[in-house]
Amino acid sequence: MPRSPVLASLLDNPGLLPIDTLHELFDSLPAVECQDMLGDWRGGCFNTGHRGEAMLEKLGWAGKRFTAVNDVNPIMSADADDQLVVNDVMGTASLRRVEYRGVVTATMVYDQHPIFDHFRRVSDTELLGVMDSKGDEMPLYFYLMRAG
């Protein structure tokens, strides 16, 4: 669970979070550099009603692994010992600096899918992410916490 009071309070909300609330938070946060993303991150979704939330839960999504700028595993699952393991269902990805909502920030670009995950910094150990997928009516918001 995130330590940031802002993220924790959003996750404590029992109902659907309005997408505008997450847009406002995302827009208020600073950009992230690609090199700052390297390492393992644990994650979770915010409850907005996006169809991808159920899909990620079914996949057992537990985080992301950024080994290098051109070596990213976007779907990490937790094994029986709660260790992060690669789930290759969505393939691999790369990190690039991309403008999203008026700010150039670290963005994970899927290699085989028209999907971009944009990141903003909550703290040195927490990020707010938004998945922008071609054809979706709204983005999927999620958080990442540095593992270890």
Number of other CB atoms surrounding residue 37 within 10 Å:
20
The superfamily (CATH) of domain 5-146 is: GXWXG domain (2.40.128.580)
Quick one: pLDDT at residue 1? 61
- Taking only the tens of pLDDT, the chain with its 148 residues reads 667 888 888 888 888 999 999 999 999 999 999 999 999 999 999 999 999 999 999 888 999 999 999 999 999 999 999 889 999 988 999 999 999 999 999 999 999 999 999 999 999 999 999 999 998 889 999 999 999 8
Quick one: pLDDT at residue 28? 97
Contact 120, 47 (CB under 8 A): no
Dihedral through CA 57, CA 48, CA 123, CA 67, nearest 10? 40
State pTM to two decimals.
0.93
Query: In angstroms, rounded to a whole number, what is the distance separating the alpha carbons of residues 3 and 89?
Result: 30
Give residue limits of the domains in the chain.
5-146
